[in-house]
Structure 1
Amino acid sequence: MTARFAIAALTPGHDRAGFACGVEPLDRYFREQASQDMRRRVAACYVAVEIATGRIAGYYTLAAGGIPLVEVPASLAKRLPRYSAVPVARLGRLAVHLDYRGQKLGAALLWDAMTRAIRSEVAVFALVVDAKDDHAAAFYRHHGFVAFGSLPHQWVLPLTHRMFGEPGF
Structure 2
Amino acid sequence: MVGGGGVLRSLALAAKDLKAGNGTRHPELYLFKTWGEVQDYAGNDPAGADLHPWVDLIDDIGTQTALEAVDRLGSEENSDVIISTVHKAKGREWPVVRIGEDFTEREPEPDATGKPGRIPRNEARLAYVAITRARHQLDIGGLAWFNAHPQANPQGIDATAPTSADPHHLDAPPYTPANPWDRLGPPSDQLG
TM-score w.r.t. length of structure 2: 0.28
Higher helix share: 2
Higher strand share: 1
Name the larger-Rg structure. 2
TM-score w.r.t. length of structure 1: 0.30
